Amino acid sequence: MIENKIKIIVSAAAALLFLSACAPKEAMLNNDVLVAQGHYGKAAVASEKEIDRSDRTQRNNLLWYLNAGLAYRFDHNNSASIKAFDESEWLIKHFQEQLLNADISQGTASLFVNDTTAPYRGTQYDGVMANTYKAIDYLAMEDNEGARVEFNRAVDRQRRAKAYYAKLIEKNREAIEEQQRNDNKGVDVDSSMPRAKQVLNEKYPSLYSFEAYPDFINPMVSYLAGIFALSEGDNQKAFTLLKEAYGMNRENAYIREDLAYVDALLDGSALRREPLVWVIIEDGLAPVKTEWRLDVPVWIFSNNLNYVSLALPRMQTRMRAFESYSIALEDEVFPSKLLSDMDRVVMTEFKEEYPAILRRALFSAMTKAFIQYQTQRQMQNSEGNAQALWALASIATTAYTIGSAQADTRSWRSLPKRFDLIRLHQPESRKFNIKTSSGLILTQVELPSRMPTLVYVKMTTAGAKPSVSIIPLGRK
């Protein structure tokens, strides 16, 4: 009996060390550098190399498919981008259904180690952006039907996000309560959560200080889907989507003008106008997660106050490429205006998920602390060979506790920091320059025809080469 317990503990420690050694941090950092430099083709190849083809649901495959899909998108390899995002979408659906519908006992494995041992399951915004990028890929391939399907999926994902997180949080609570009833009756997480939240608020006030987007809506997705609906003549749908985007961007005159025009189309008062050009610029890179430690007071199987150390993720924002952009036509200048702050999109979901992250980390730390306590007590109360075996177990559990205290810092890092918008009537010359705030010509644009056009630009850092897609809208 004693030997079996020791084998279990030592095996867990060995497995933990193996998983830690396999962490893809170096590969992720390399991908970051390639994307930051604008080397999207190389980034796509590097991401493809990291995908485990022998195990479709390998724990980091989703991240690599997302990275590959985005890199292909901005390397203008639309078919490869769609293929990678198709696999991403399948994995997100698979993992989320597994989380919400499977027996709760299947979701408790990582509670005894850390979240890094579980597959990266994706966020709601991961799925929304995967569908949005696929829609842009289809538009670039002149496939309006494919684009329509993907925009509908992206908008629907945003609608369902609130219900998904409510159900996920409840599942997390059920899993921990089940473990407490069966194997860890002395580990009472609920009594320690209020103090843990208080300490968290003191040490990480920025988690709650930002302005969240309502109901997980990314205004860029609503706006772009609205512009697409307008180009297809679905004016009522366009009005609904543009109104939603404007509700979160009331300072953006470009969205207000689009909304007013669609409103005029609906009441029959709209006048004929020159084709419009919508320039959307992805600027900078999304926030990254970093690890930090939080010491929380808890009571474990006694009335004595103990402290456990939690390893938790924290969001760290990154720099913009440029402060702003503009287009000058004769004596008129069109400055860029904020369309969507991706930092806020990411933080909105991160804040929603954080109580579950905190609860899992607290349960894991308290359980490991109790295992250590029991092992050391067994060692002190044993003699001879049994004491030696328990001493070995004590060393193993100590190594296991220290080594397993890791935060899950995985995220889709190649998304932008923000989306900027410029809207203008198409010039007679069908040519214009997009300039940065410093006056640098970022790119020269030549439109292929006299029709509404989307110009989609990705600018990760000031030193990167921009990726530019010119996509006429309204084709049949």
* Tens digits of pLDDT across the chain (476 residues): 444 444 444 455 555 544 544 446 789 889 999 999 999 999 999 999 999 999 999 999 999 999 999 999 999 999 999 999 999 999 999 998 887 776 544 445 555 556 777 899 999 999 999 999 999 999 999 999 999 999 999 999 999 887 888 787 777 777 767 766 665 555 678 788 888 899 999 999 888 888 888 888 999 999 999 999 999 999 999 999 999 999 999 999 999 999 999 999 999 888 777 899 999 999 999 999 999 988 888 776 665 667 788 889 999 999 999 999 999 998 899 999 999 999 999 999 999 889 888 988 888 888 777 776 666 666 666 666 665 565 555 555 555 555 556 889 999 999 999 999 999 999 999 999 999 998 999 999 999 888 999 999 999 999 999 999 999 997 54
Contact 246, 423 (CB under 8 A): no
In DSSP notation, 248-287 reads T-TT-HHHHHHHHHHHHHHHT-PPP-PPEEEEEEEES---
Task: Report the run of H or E that residue 327 belongs to, with start and end.
Answer: strand 325-329
User: Strand 467-472 relative to strand 453-459: parallel, antiparallel, unpaired?
Assistant: antiparallel
Closest by Cα among 47, 45, 43 to 64: 47
- The pLDDT value recorded for residue 5 is 45
On whether the CB atoms of residues 162 and 89 are closer than 8 A, the answer is no
Look at strands 337-341 and 332-335 and give their pairing.
unpaired
- Residue 421 burial by CB count (10 A; 0-12/13-18/19+): exposed, middle or buried? buried
- Among residues 164, 197, 171, which one has the least CA distance to residue 358? 197
Q: What is the pLDDT of residue 305?
A: 63
Going by C-beta distance under 8 Å and a sequence separation of 6 or more, which residues neighbour residue 457?
A: 279, 280, 281, 282, 434, 442, 443, 466, 467, 468, 469
Burial 201-219 (b: 16+ CB within 10 A, else e): eeebeeeeebeebeebbbb
The pLDDT assigned to 391 comes to 55
What does the alpha-carbon distance between residue 161 and residue 44 come to, in Å, rounded to a whole number? 29
Question: Residue 56 and residue 431: Cα distance in Å, rounded?
Answer: 46
Token pair 């923000």 in the structure block, residue: 418
Q: What pLDDT is attached to residue 381? A: 65
Query: What's residue 1's pLDDT?
Result: 43
Sign of CA dihedral 301, 398, 200, 63: negative
pTM of the model: 0.88
b/e code 332-352 from CB counts within 10 Å (16+ = b)? eebebbbbbbbbbbbbbbbeb
- For the CA atoms of 328, 333, 338, 339, what is the dihedral angle to 10 degrees? -70
Q: Is 334 helix (H, G, I), strand (E, B) or coil?
A: strand
Measure Cα distances from 139 to 127, 184, 192 in Å.
19, 54, 52
What single-letter amino acid sits at 208?
A: Y
What pLDDT is stored for residue 397 in this prediction?
56
**What is the rounded CA–CA span in Å between residue 333 and residue 336?**
10
Amino acid residing at 384: G
The whole-angstrom separation of Cα 149 and Cα 66 is 19
- Map residue 416 onto helix, strand or coil: coil
pLDDT at 226: 98
Bridge-based pairing state of the strands 325-329 and 332-335: antiparallel
In degrees to the nearest 10, what's the CA dihedral of 153, 156, 161, 167? -100
Count of CA atoms in the C-beta half-sphere (13 A) of 13: 18
Nearest to 411 by CA among 191, 124, 138: 124
Beta-carbon contacts of residue 65 (< 8 Å; ≥ 6 apart): 47, 51, 84, 85, 87, 88, 91
